[in-house]
């Protein structure tokens, strides 16, 4: 797996430079997340600081689930099917689902799922025309609404936020195991 950051954003691959730009941001955010977790062992991946706390695996499940949910809701413009809701709801909401998100799966399982969710998003996003990308929709902010551009920016923002949480959990893990 190539873990090099993508510091050059190419343009001309989609219907709009704006979409190209967003894809570049999403790509670099993802590779940076992967670099942060690439060599985690199962103990660190599924370690909980305290009962009810997220694990790194839970946060990766959330990143994966939210990417699928955003693709379905904001690009495909449809509701999740019952099967999709059952599959993604634990990762989307975490909370009461944290115990079932602690799977003891290896990091390779999460990396493959992250690759699959991103490939699905990219495939759908490349086909979006600029009018759909910037079309005002109702929701999120009652005064201004939102558009797909904002929703997908928020997707990148969410991943970066959770990557920060992953960093904190890794530091807590190291401190806990250093003193044990």
Structure confidence at residue 139 (pLDDT): 86
- CA separation (Å) from 16 to 73, 129, 133, 176? 21, 7, 9, 48
- Residue 139 domain-assigned? no
Mean pLDDT computed over 118-126:
96
The answer on pLDDT for 180 being more than 70 is no
The answer on pLDDT for 156 being more than 90 is yes
CATH of the domain at 60: 1.20.120.450
- Taking the model in full, what pTM does it have? 0.94
- Residue 177 domain-assigned? no
The number of distinct structural domains making up the chain is: 1
- Residue 42 domain-assigned? yes
**101, 58 in Cβ contact below 8 A?**
yes
Tens of pLDDT along 56-113? 999 999 999 999 999 999 999 999 999 999 999 999 999 999 999 999 999 999 999 9
Residue 64 belongs to domain spanning = 37-129
């Amino acid at each position: 797996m190539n873990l090099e950051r993508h510091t050059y954003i190419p343009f001309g691959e989609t219907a709009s430079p704006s979409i190209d730009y967003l894809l570049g941001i999403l790509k670099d955010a993802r590779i940076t997340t992967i670099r942060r977790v690439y060599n985690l062992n199962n103990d660190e991946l599924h370690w909980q600081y305290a009962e009810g706390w997220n694990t790194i695996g839970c946060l990766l499940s959330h990143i994966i689930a939210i990417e699928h949910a955003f693709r379905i809701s904001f690009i495909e413009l449809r509701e999740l099917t019952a099967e999709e809701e059952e599959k993604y709801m634990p990762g989307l909401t975490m909370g009461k689902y944290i115990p079932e998100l602690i799977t003891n799966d290896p990091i390779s399982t999460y990396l493959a799922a992250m690759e699959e969710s991103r490939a699905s998003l990219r495939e759908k996003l490349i086909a979006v025309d600029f009018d759909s990308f910037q079309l005002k929709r109702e929701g999120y902010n009652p005064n201004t609404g939102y558009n797909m551009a904002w929703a997908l920016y928020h997707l990148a923002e969410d991943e970066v936020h959770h990557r920060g949480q992953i960093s904190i959990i890794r530091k807590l893990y190291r401190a806990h195991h250093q003193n044990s």
